[in-house]
Each structure stands twice: as structure tokens, then as C-alpha cells.
């Protein structure tokens, strides 16, 4: 851990392994114990690849207990050849490894005013890992997609009933659809490894989807079924949850949350960290965007009056975050300073100054003021 | 009013005109004052055609104040020729008159156990009227629909913000879409008359849609815009409200409530009405189904052990209710009796014995036990 890291998360204590219900997650912040929703303390960021036991956890139901021997994946719907594949057979197929950042669609929700509904993630519902598996496109080609197919539903083994409003229709499996276009992109994986090791139970063992460029809810864990459909899927987690308002026809219409929005985050200094006046402080962080590589990250020390470009310390590439740093000549004047960062991707997408209410409590990437104290 | 009618609604007093905020509605039951939601006391049913001042009222926002001079309707979207039409021009076009039953998708909600969310309509959120206007298909043909069009959005002038969950995305106009197939059916009207007179403000003056066979929410009042679209519309009132769960792919998927489900209702005796033992009592009521004419209505006096077919006293036809009656030889035995009725339409659709939870609080047509007291 960087010695400059002195801060701690403000709203929730970092709980240790003994309090965790789901094995070994030293240092993860528990946002909800059951089902497991654990946050990475983002000020700890040092490495380009997030270790699996520090990777944030988002679950909707209890973690299913599936052995690789019993697991199988069924492909059905608008296809020519319905089939099932077991774990051994899947691992025999040609594999691909991708580096992909997964971010929860509600990451940053805790920073919104007024308080929003939903899990109050601060900055740490994001992580970057190496994922290995079989491209979904390989399985879809084997299945033979019919010409009227438009989407692909990914179904997890995790299930349950949501009894608070908005209620689920009884007990349902977690499921999410991809557009056929996205499903056929070669980086979309049916993955069985994270950072070169078998997935852990909480991250989807034995097999999960990895959908680089889309928010985490699309990377369905404990994947057991793929259904090709000829109509857009209006499932629970893309209408009632993980949906936002778009206005293509002048009317608000609910659309499934999908592509990750461009965003930069400061790791250090932590929020409210004390910084010694007149020193040089290396501000660090990460930045990412959905389908595009990051082009630049800028920082402002004076609340947006002027911006400076920071150094990128890892190679920008699509689907993965980039690390960055900036050597700050800390002023002599003792005061609170509000640091602001913004990222721009190579398609010119950048961050808004306000959260668009049509996004509801998702896709939160407005530029925030990160307050620190110089003494 | 039939002299046998002695009952009254149990949960809400019938309020008179002086209490109404929306003009002259003698005898309508106020379920909500503002916005106006008024129910027809169904035990008063005598006539095949419901007078306009007894017709139930369902509004989501304050009634817009529009003069026929200012009104115009704009047709836009996936069409060859965008145009607007004013009230005078609309009335010059060839018109059509249809008899259509409108039923609120939540009619009968008050009878559900446990209590459901939403306006607690008893039996009277239904009425049958004669509607005159220009077929929507005439306007769509004039506009020239593009080949990729799939739906037609109907937008009302009524608007506002819903600030309770599920929240609307700020202030929005009431809007609902029809499938293109339905929109092109000749009975779907852009209507300016109800029962041979101009619409009243609360029923959509100057112009509303009438969508026979679909629940009332599709018959958009104060119609000002028609938008032809090439993707299914996921607007507020067909995803968050007025939507139900269907499971075409084995997964629950939200679908817009549309076609009216077959249903029979008893008008008299009213609920809990006292009936003299040993007499003949004429049980009356109505029955309707979405796109199909009613074929038969059956009644059971013994809680479903045996059923008898009742007499239909009006001509069965699609989109309209049929009136029915049955001469009951009231037993000598003093007791409570549970009357049950069920309708079957000419496509063989009939009523279920239980409400399917996937319908949420809509499309309520389960067979109910209508309790009366023989003394």
C-alpha cells in the first residue's frame, strides 16, 4: 500500500475477514452482508490488475453452490441446433483472455445528493481483471442463429423473489440480455478463469459471462442458460432495475443500461485526507470508458477554472481502465482544496458536470469535487 | 333505476355533484378527487349505452383546458409526410361510429386479497358508449407509414410529474403505444363525439383516441400527437404502470397491458343486498371480452357446483358488452348465498378461478363470489 494513503472510507468501516460471510475478502467494505455486496476501497488502488479477493462483489441472491462436475450450459431459443455443454467440454474449446474493467452501474451512488435508492456504493464498485474463456460468438455460431434473432438472454443459476417494490414476479433467476451485435463481439466471453485461476464462488464459479464495455450487470455469473430471442427482452433487471430513460421520439422510454460511461476517479489522496503544505504529492487514480480507449485525463485544483493533463501510467486500450498520476505542488496556504478530474475517450466522450436525472440511479459519471485538507 | 336495487357501495359513499371538482357527475363514486378518478356504481346498470355523465373517469393529471379552436393533432415519426390537422379539418373527414366498452385495466382491484397498490376500483371502472370520429388508419394512410414502422404512440395534452415511486422522469405527457396492426384496424378512432354529442372535457374534449378491445389506458384522451416509431415504445405507462409479466422464453418479461380479458359482472343484486326468500329475483349484469363477442354467460348459485346459462338481452358483438339476466327462484332457506358468474367468448376464452400474480394489479377477471343475504 502506498505510504501516502492515510484516508479511510467515511461512511462504513472496513471490515475484516472474520466478519465476512463469503470467505476471504480482507479489506473489502461490506455494503450489504446477505446477499453479498462488497466494495473495493478505491484509495488502495496500486495495481493495474485487481486481485480476485479485492475485486468488488455484486450479488442479487445467495451465491449458488455449483460444482464444475454438475454444471452445464444450455443454448436454446431462436437457433438451429439446441445443445448443452459441460465444464470439461467448454475448457476443450479454443479460449481467449481479455483484460476488462467491470463497473457496477450504481458505482458512485453514495456521492449523489439527495440520497438515492439502492446500494450506496462510493467509488469502489469497479475493478480490472484478466478473464479467460470461450467467446460467446463461438457457441452462438455452433448453435446457428436464426435470421430473426435480435437479442441473447444470459441466465444465471442465482434466483429468488424480490418482495419489496418493485416486486419480482415470484422467484426468478437473474437474467440479462445482450443485443445480438454485442453478443457476437469477440471479447464477450463465457469465462472460467479470473487472473489465471479458476473463478471463485462469489465471482461466478464455475462459469460466468464477461461483457467488456458494458456495466457489470451484463456479466451474468453462474451462467447456466443462453436463450436467443427474436424480440427485445423486458426482464426485471432491464426494465424495473438497471434501466434508464431515453427520449428518442421526444417521449421518455425505458432502455436497458448497457455501455459504460467515461469516468476518471481519484484514488489518492483519499477523501478528507490531510496533506502537508508545500510538498509534492502524487495524485493517483484510474480512468475508463465503455467501448473506447481513454485519450486523456485532466485535473483541476481550482474547482474547474483551469485544467491540466495528467500522465497515463498504463497503456490505454478499450474495455480496460488506465492508471494515471499527477505530481501536485501542494500550496503553502492551509485550506481545503477541491480536486476535480475528468476523462475523455478517443471518441471524444467526456464527463458531464451534472447527473442527468433520466439516468435514474445508474451511469453516474458526473465530475465530482474531491475535498482534501492542506495543513 | 330498477326498484330491486337496494344496495350501496360498501367502501365509499356516493358523492353528489356539489362535491365534484369536475362538473356534473351525479352518482359517480369518487375514488380520488384530484386528479379525477370517478367510478360508476355498477349496480345501477340498466341501459346498454352508459350516459356520458355516468361514465367512469380515469385521469392521471389535471384535465387540460383546450378549446377546439386551438387544438391540432400532429402526426410525425416514421412516415413520408408529416402533417397537422385542426378540429375543423378533422370533422370534414369521413367519420365512423362504433359502440365500444371501455374498461380500466385495474377494474375489480378492490376485490383482491391482499389489498393491492393502486386505485381501488370496485366493479364500476367500465362503461359502454357510442363513439364517433375518424379512423386512425385514415390519418396513417395519409401520412404514409414507412416500412420499418412497428408501433404508433398516442400522446395526450395531459402532463405532470409522478413523484412517488415508481417516479416519472420529470414532467411527462400521458402516452401509450399501439402495435401497428392494432392501429390500422378500422374501429380504432380519433374520436370527437360520445353518444352523439361533443366530448366533455373530462372525457377528452376536443379529441381522444378510442381503441376498442383494449383496456382504457390505450384510449388516450386530449390527443395532440401521433408518433410512428420503428422500435417498441417502453414509455412509463407501459413498463412501470399498465404492464404485466409474460414468460415467452421461460423468463418473466414485462409486456404492455393491451387486450381486454373476458369477464361477466353482476349488477343486481348488489353486494350484501337483502333478498326476500321464496320470491323470483331477476339477477342482471353485463359481460364483455376484448376483440371477441360474448358467446355465453353462466351463473352458479351453489359456489360452482353447477352452472346455468343466462339469457343475453342485447346482441353480442365484438368490442361491446352484452347485457344479461337470470330469473332466480330464491330459496326458502334464510342464508347467505354466494353468486358466481362467468363469461365465455366466441374464441373460447373464459374466466380463471384465481388471479395470475404475473398480471400484477391489472387484467383482473377471476370469477368472484358475490355474496347476498336471503331473509
pLDDT, one tens digit per residue, over A249-307 is 889 999 999 999 999 999 999 988 999 999 999 999 999 999 999 999 999 999 999 99
Mean pLDDT (whole number) for A199-217: 98
Minimal C-alpha gap between B178 and chain A (Å): 15
Q: Does B234 touch chain A (CB under 8 A)?
A: yes
Q: Which of A256, A278, A297 is at the close of a domain?
A: A256
> Quick one: pLDDT at residue B116?
82
Residue A204 has pLDDT above 60, yes or no: yes
Q: What percent of chain A has pLDDT over 70?
A: 93
For the cut 80, the answer to whether the pLDDT of residue B166 exceeds it is yes
Strands B274-275 and B370-374, by their bridges, are parallel
- For B314-356, the pLDDT digits (tens) are 999 999 999 999 999 999 998 999 999 999 999 999 999 999 9
Task: Flag whether residue B77 sits within 8 Å of chain A, measured between CB atoms.
Answer: yes
- Note the pLDDT of residue A23: 52
Q: Do B293 and B160 belong to one domain?
A: no
Residue A32 has pLDDT above 60, yes or no: yes
Looking at B236, B255, B274, which one is the last position of a domain? B255
Query: What is the predicted pLDDT for the residue at B237?
Result: 97
Chain B residue numbers with beta carbons less than 8 Å from the beta carbon of A117 are 165
For residue A359, the enclosing domain spans 263-374
How many angstroms separate the CA atoms of A255 and A261, rounded?
15
User: Is the pLDDT confidence value at A10 over 50?
Assistant: no
Contact A357 B229 (CB under 8 A): no
Mean pLDDT score of chain B: 92
- Please indicate, yes or no, whether residues B269 and B363 belong to a single structural domain of this protein: yes
Q: What's the pLDDT band for A26 if we cut at 50, 70, 90?
A: low
Last residue of a domain, one of B201, B223, B255: B255
If one compares B74 and A114, the residue with the highest pLDDT of the two is B74
B360 neighbourhood in chain A, CB within 8 Å:
169
Asked if A252 lies within 8 A of B235 by C-beta distance, the reply is yes
Give residue-wise pLDDT tens across range A52-110. Answer: 999 999 999 999 999 999 999 999 999 999 999 999 999 999 999 999 999 999 999 99
Of B165, B239, B251, nearest to A254 by CB-CB distance is B239
Predicted confidence at residue B26, as pLDDT, reads 67
Q: Are residues B173 and B220 in the same domain?
A: yes
pLDDT > 70? residue A197: yes
pLDDT exceeds 70 at position A13: no
Residues of chain B contacting A235 with CB distance shorter than 8 Å: 251-254
Residue B161: inside a domain, yes or no?
yes
Does any domain span residue A324?
yes
Q: Does A230 touch chain B (CB under 8 A)?
A: no
| Same-domain status, B90 and B229 | yes
* Percent of chain B residues topping a pLDDT of 70: 93
Flag whether A30 is in a domain. no
pLDDT of A16 over the 90 cut: no
Task: For residues B222 and B297, state if they share a domain.
Answer: no
**CATH number assigned to the domain comprising residue B246:** 3.90.420.10
A118 CB within 8 Å of a chain B CB: no
| Tens of pLDDT, residues B31-88 | 998 999 999 999 999 999 999 999 999 999 999 999 999 999 999 999 999 999 999 9
Residue A344 β-bridge partners: A296, A350
Torsion of CA A254, A259, A261, A263, to 10 degrees: 140
User: With contact defined as beta carbons under 8 Å apart, do A122 and A111 qualify?
Assistant: yes
Sign of the Cα torsion A117, A119, A121, A125 reads: negative
Contacts of A234 in chain B (CB under 8 A): 234, 239, 253-255
Position B252 scores a pLDDT of: 95
Contact between chains at B252 and A227 (C-beta distance less than 8 A): no
Does residue A100 sit within a domain? yes
CA dist., res. B91 & res. B87, Å (int): 6
Flag whether B345 is in a domain: yes
- The yes-or-no verdict on residue B277 having pLDDT over 90 is yes
β-strand B29-32 against A370-374: which pairing, if any? unpaired
pLDDT > 90: percent of chain B: 87
Residues B78 and B201 reside in one and the same domain: yes
Q: Do A87 and A188 lie in a common domain?
A: yes
Q: Judge if A82 and A222 occupy the same domain.
A: yes
Both A246 and A328 in a single domain? no
Average of per-residue pLDDT across B12-17: 38
Residue A307 lies in a domain: yes
Whether the CB of A173 is below 8 Å from some CB of chain B: the reply is yes
Regarding whether A274 and A251 lie in a shared domain, the answer is no
pLDDT tens-digit profile of A337-374? 999 999 999 999 999 999 999 999 999 999 999 999 99
Q: Which residues pair with B209 in a beta bridge?
A: B190
Do A244 and A336 belong together in one domain? no
pLDDT for residue B95: 97
A357 contacts chain B (CB < 8 A): yes
Tens of pLDDT, residues B99-133: 999 999 999 999 888 888 889 999 999 999 999 99
Kindly give the pairing relationship between strand B308-309 and strand B294-300: antiparallel
For residue B23, name the pLDDT band (cuts at 50, 70, 90). Answer: low
Over residues B149-177, the mean pLDDT reads 95
Smallest CA–CA distance from B232 into chain A, residue: A232
Indicate yes or no: CB of B234 within 8 angstroms of CB of A255: yes
A312-321 mean pLDDT: 98
Disruptive mutation site among A174, A223, A254, A257 for chain B (greatest number of B CBs within 10 Å): A254
Q: What is the pLDDT of residue A19?
A: 37
Mean pLDDT of A228-248: 95
Chain B residues within 8 A of A227 when measuring between CB atoms: 249-251
Please list the alpha-helical segments (H only) found in chain A: 87-92, 136-143, 180-183, 236-239
CA dihedral B78, B82, B88, B93 (to 10 degrees): -60
Q: Do B172 and A252 touch (CB under 8 A)?
A: yes
Q: Could you tell me if the ipTM is greater than 0.85?
A: no
Q: State yes or no: pLDDT of B14 exceeds 80.
A: no
B169, B242, B248, best to mutate vs chain A, most A CBs in 10 Å: B169
pLDDT at B15 over 60: no
Residues A288 and A251 in one domain: no
Establish whether the linkage from the previous residue to A168 is cis, with ω within 30° of 0: no
Q: How many domains does chain B have?
A: 2
Is residue A224 situated within a structural domain?
A: yes
CA distances, B343 to each of B60, B122, B260, B296 (Å)? 31, 18, 13, 6
As a whole number of angstroms, the distance between CA B265 and CA B263 comes to 7
Q: Are B191 and B207 in contact (CB under 8 A)?
A: yes
Asked, for residue A47, whether it belongs to a domain, the answer is no
Q: Looking at the predicted structure, is the pLDDT value of residue A2 above 60?
A: no
Instruction: Specify the pairing of strand A274-275 against strand A370-374.
Output: parallel
Say what the pLDDT of residue A113 is: 84
Q: Domain holding A331: CATH number? A: 2.60.40.650
Amino acid at each position: 500500500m502506498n505510504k501516502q494513503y492515510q484516508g479511510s472510507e467515511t461512511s462504513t468501516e472496513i471490515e475484516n475477514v472474520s466478519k465476512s460471510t463469503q470467505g476471504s475478502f480482507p479489506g473489502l467494505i461490506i455494503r450489504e452482508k446477505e446477499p453479498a455486496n462488497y466494495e473495493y476501497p478505491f484509495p488502495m488502488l496500486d495495481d493495474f490488475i485487481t486481485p480476485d479477493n479485492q475485486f468488488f462483489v455484486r450479488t442479487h441472491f445467495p451465491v449458488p453452490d455449483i460444482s464444475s462436475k454438475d454444471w452445464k450450459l444450455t443454448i436454446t431459443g431462436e437457433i438451429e441446433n439446441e445443445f448443452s455443454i459441460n465444464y470439461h467440454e467448454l475448457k476443450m474449446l479454443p479460449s481467449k483472455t481479455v483484460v476488462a474493467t467491470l463497473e457496477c452501474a450504481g458505482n458512485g451512488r453514495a456521492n449523489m445528493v439527495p440520497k438515492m435508492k439502492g446500494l450506496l456504493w462510493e467509488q469502489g464498485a469497479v475493478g480490472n481483471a484478466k478473464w479467460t474463456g470461450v467467446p460467446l460468438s463461438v457457441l452462438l455460431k455452433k448453435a446457428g442463429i436464426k435470421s430473426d434473432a435480435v437479442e441473447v438472454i444470459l441466465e444465471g443459476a442465482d434466483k429468488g423473489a424480490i418482495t419489496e417494490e418493485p416486486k419480482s414476479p415470484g422467484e426468478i433467476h437473474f437474467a440479462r440480455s445482450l443485443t445480438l451485435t454485442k453478443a457476437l463481439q469477440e471479447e464477450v466471453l463465457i469465462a472460467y478463469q479470473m487472473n489465471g485461476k479458476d473463478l471463485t464462488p462469489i465471482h461466478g464459479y464455475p462459469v460466468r459471462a464477461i461483457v467488456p464495455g458494458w456495466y457489470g450487470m451484463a456479466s451474468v455469473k453462474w451462467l447456466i442458460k443462453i436463450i436467443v430471442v427474436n424480440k427485445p427482452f423486458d426482464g426485471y433487471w432491464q426494465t424495473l432495475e438497471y434501466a434508464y430513460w431515453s427520449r428518442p421520439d421526444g417521449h421518455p422510454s425505458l432502455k436497458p443500461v448497457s455501455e459504460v460511461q467515461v469516468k476518471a476517479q481519484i484514488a489518492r489522496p483519499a477523501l478528507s485526507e490531510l496533506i502537508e503544505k508545500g510538498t509534492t504529492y502524487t495524485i493517483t487514480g484510474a480512468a475508463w470508458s465503455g467501448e473506447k480507449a481513454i485519450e486523456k485525463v485532466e485535473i483541476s485544483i481550482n474547482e474547474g477554472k483551469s485544467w491540466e493533463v495528467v500522465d497515463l501510467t498504463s497503456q490505454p486500450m478499450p474495455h480496460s481502465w488506465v492508471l494515471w498520476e499527477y505530481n501536485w505542488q501542494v500550496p503553502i496556504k492551509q485550506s481545503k482544496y477541491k480536486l476535480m478530474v475528468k476523462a475523455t475517450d478517443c471518441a471524444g466522450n467526456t464527463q458531464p458536470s451534472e447527473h442527468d436525472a433520466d439516468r435514474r440511479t445508474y451511469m453516474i459519471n458526473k465530475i465530482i469535487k474531491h475535498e482534501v485538507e492542506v495543513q
